[in-house]
Every structure is written in C-alpha cells, then in structure tokens.
C-alpha cells in the first residue's frame, strides 16, 4: 500500500521561496521533509520557461487530479445508446448486453455490473419518470419485479389428465441437452376466456416456436402444436399437466409417434427452459392482454426477437445461431 502524499500549497510556497534563493534541491527537499526526486519532478513538471509559480503549479495539479479519475463507460454516447436500445427496446438483460459485446469482440465493452448500476442510478429514466413521485423508472424493465409465487400450501384446482410417460423415463439425450428436437411445451394466456399462445422451447438451443390458439382447450392446443412442430426435428415433448394437453396422444400420432414425458405435479423446474422462455415472452404479452387484437405477424416478430437475443447459458450466442448452426452479427 502506498503512503505517498501529494504536495500541499504551503509546501509549494516553500519550494518557490528556497528555489528562488538558489538553494540546492537536496536542501529544499530536507527543508520540507520530502525526497529530492519529488522536488525535482515538481519543478520539471510545473515550471514555465524555468519560472516556477506555486499557484500555477497547484492549479495544474488540480486539473491533472481531476483528469486521472476513471471515466464512466456509459459516458460514451455510442455505447450509451447501444445499451439503452438493447435494454429498453429489445428487453436484453445487462448480462446479455455485456456478454454479446464481449463475444463479438467489438471496440466497445462494458460490464453487466456497470449496466446494473446505471439502471439503479436512473440514467435510463425519462424526464416524465423522474418527475413522477413513486415511479421506479427503468428498474421496472428488469425481470421478476413484483412477480408473485405460489405458496407452499397452494392447492391445485386444475383437472388431472392421463399421462403416457413420466419424466423419469425421458432419455439421457434429452436430459443432457445434447441434441436438437427435445421440446418443452406450455401455454401463455392473455385475457380470460380468450386465445392463448402455445409455446414450444427446444431444450438444447432454447429456440422458441409459438403460435396463437383460439382458446386454451385441448383441441385447439393439439392443432397448434402439430402445426408448429411439423417439419421440425422432434424426439420428445415435455409439457405441463394442464388439461389443454389432454390430447397428447393425438399429437404423438400425428408427429411420427413422438413420446410425451410429463413432470411431477408442482415441479416447474423440471421444465425450466420453457418456464424461463415464457417469462421472456411475457415482456411482450403481459397477463390480461387481449390476444385477439394481436396479429400472427406481430407474435412472430416477437418470437424472432427472442430467438435472436443472446443467452448467457449459450455463451452469449443466440438460440437462432445454435438451432440453425450459423453466426449472426448483432452489434
């Protein structure tokens, strides 16, 4: 640890007086209790045409001191706009933004911790958000803000359906995510009694397939699943135990006898890929939204955005890149 102390204004005054009287550097250094090299460096750095001014030297020191402090990464306008656009417009997380910049080896870089600090400091907040009392601004764009969880004693009220295979029987290739075509299935509801989104997430690539079903019922969900998965690699499907998947046998028959594997009740972590993907999709389609007013093309646009969003678990590559074995340039 360094114990060096910067020269004070009074020390600079003594240096000026003694130097003007032609005392040696060694004498001046001993007089102020400093090393000879400190006095020499001070006179060399802060003299103008062999004339030394203590006030000018102190002012120059103050300027250098201010400039030597590290500059804020997000003070760069280009980097600020890039981070702001990805966070607010495209809903990328701070880790996704920082990780993708690092992956593509761009001239710009920023840590996810710096982005989090900027968010909590409010630098991405609008004027209206700053002026509104109680408005938490851009912080609300972060995931899991105010998200409720079921209690330990939650009572399942949904009906039960017959299952074909338990998740314990799912093959190792699906469990270890070593191949494409092992899907997790679920639905994302909008307005009550209205249409829903059928979501299918590939376990290896996290690639998402999703289309709108006219209602959350077994017939409509069956038809939508078949439409989504036709022509795609498909070795297994792991849905939840909702009644909308009651016709899983008919889906299996239509897709070359693909097996269904059902998780245990109240074990959403056994379908963590789909649960996480649904959370991302909720950023675009919040609960209560009337999906009848949302076009199929709009849904597909948001699905494409998610598939081209970098993921930490994929080394900040995108699901699209893994699923199709190509490289995109997103920065």
Query: What would the pLDDT profile of 1-29 be if each residue is shown by its tens digit?
Result: 456 688 999 999 999 899 889 899 999 99
Question: Are 36 and 114 in a shared domain?
Answer: no
Condensed to tens digits (0 to 9), the pLDDT of residues 58-70 reads 988 888 887 776 6
Q: What is the reported pLDDT for 156?
A: 54
Condensed to tens digits (0 to 9), the pLDDT of residues 292-316 reads 999 999 999 999 999 999 999 999 9
CA–CA dist 164, 261 (Å, integer): 7
pLDDT averaged over every residue in the chain? 87
Question: Are 94 and 184 in a shared domain?
Answer: no
Question: Are 259 and 300 in a shared domain?
Answer: yes
Question: Are 41 and 102 in a shared domain?
Answer: no
Question: Are 131 and 252 in a shared domain?
Answer: no
Condensed to tens digits (0 to 9), the pLDDT of residues 316-331 reads 999 999 999 999 988 7
Burial class of residue 324 in the structure, from the number of CB atoms within 10 Å of its CB (0-12 exposed, 13-18 middle, 19+ buried) = middle
CB 93 within 8 A of CB 143: yes
Q: Residue 33: which domain range?
A: 9-67
Question: Are 90 and 215 in a shared domain?
Answer: no
Q: Which residue has the higher pLDDT, 130 or 36?
A: 36
Is residue 4 domain-resident?
A: no
96, 106, 135, 187 from 103: Cα distances, Å: 10, 8, 35, 33
Condensed to tens digits (0 to 9), the pLDDT of residues 21-54 reads 989 999 999 999 999 999 999 998 888 877 899 8
Q: What is the reported pLDDT for 48?
A: 83
User: What is the pLDDT averaged over residues 167-184?
Assistant: 95
Is residue 318 domain-resident?
A: yes
Question: Are 217 and 316 in a shared domain?
Answer: yes
Is residue 285 domain-resident?
A: yes
Question: Are 211 and 305 in a shared domain?
Answer: yes
| 135: pLDDT strictly greater than 70 | no
In the beta sheet, which residues pair with residue 236? 182
Question: Are 110 and 200 in a shared domain?
Answer: no
Q: How many separate domains does the chain show?
A: 3
Between β-strands 47-48 and 196-202, what pairing exists: parallel, antiparallel or unpaired?
unpaired
Q: What is the reported pLDDT for 265?
A: 84
Condensed to tens digits (0 to 9), the pLDDT of residues 66-112 reads 777 666 778 888 899 999 999 888 889 899 999 999 898 778 888 99
Q: What is the reported pLDDT for 2?
A: 52
Q: How confident is the model at residue 159 (pLDDT cuts 50, 70, 90)?
A: low
CB 306 within 8 A of CB 280: yes
Q: What is the reported pLDDT for 108?
A: 83
Q: What is the reported pLDDT for 148?
A: 46
Question: Are 193 and 55 in a shared domain?
Answer: no
Q: For residue 206, give the nearest of 115, 132, 311, 117 by alpha carbon.
A: 311
Condensed to tens digits (0 to 9), the pLDDT of residues 227-244 reads 999 999 999 999 998 899
- Using the 8-state DSSP alphabet, how is residue 232 labeled? S
Is residue 45 domain-resident?
A: yes
| 170: pLDDT strictly greater than 90 | yes
* Range of weakest confidence among 127-131, 189-193, 221-225, 259-263: 127-131
Question: Are 200 and 239 in a shared domain?
Answer: yes
């Amino acid at each position: 640890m360094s114990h060096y102390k910067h020269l004070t204004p009074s020390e600079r005054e003594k240096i000026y007086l003694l130097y003007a009287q032609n005392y040696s550097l060694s004498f001046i250094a001993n007089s102020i209790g400093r090393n000879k090299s400190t006095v020499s460096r001070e006179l060399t750095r802060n003299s103008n045409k062999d004339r030394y001014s203590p006030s000018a030297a102190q002012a120059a020191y103050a300027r250098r001191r201010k400039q030597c402090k590290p500059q804020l990464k997000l003070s760069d306008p280009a980097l600020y706009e890039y981070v702001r656009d990805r966070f607010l417009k495209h809903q990328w997380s701070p880790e996704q933004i920082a990780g993708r910049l690092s992956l593509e080896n761009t001239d710009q870089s920023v840590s996810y911790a710096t982005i989090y600090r900027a968010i909590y400091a409010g630098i991405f907040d609008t004027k209206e958000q700053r002026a509104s009392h109680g408005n938490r601004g851009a912080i609300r764009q972060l995931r899991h803000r105010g998200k409720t969880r079921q209690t330990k004693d939650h009572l399942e009220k949904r009906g039960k359906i017959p299952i074909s295979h338990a998740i314990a029987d799912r093959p190792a290739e699906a469990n270890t995510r070593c191949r494409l075509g092992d899907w997790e299935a679920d639905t994302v509801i909008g307005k009550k009694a209205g249409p829903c989104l059928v979501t299918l997430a590939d376990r290896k690539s996290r690639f998402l397939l999703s289309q709108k079903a006219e209602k959350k019922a077994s017939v409509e969900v069956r038809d939508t699943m078949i439409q989504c998965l036709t022509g795609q690699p498909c070795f297994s499907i792991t849905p939840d135990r909702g009644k909308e998947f009651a016709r899983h046998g008919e889906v299996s028959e239509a897709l070359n006898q693909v097996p269904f594997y059902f998780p245990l009740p109240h074990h959403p972590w056994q379908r963590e890929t789909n649960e996480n993907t649904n959370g991302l999709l909720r950023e675009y389609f919040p609960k209560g939204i009337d999906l009848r007013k949302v076009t199929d093309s709009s849904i597909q646009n948001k699905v494409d955005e998610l598939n081209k969003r970098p993921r930490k678990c994929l080394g900040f590559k995108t699901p699209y890149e893994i699923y199709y074995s190509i490289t995109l340039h997103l920065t």
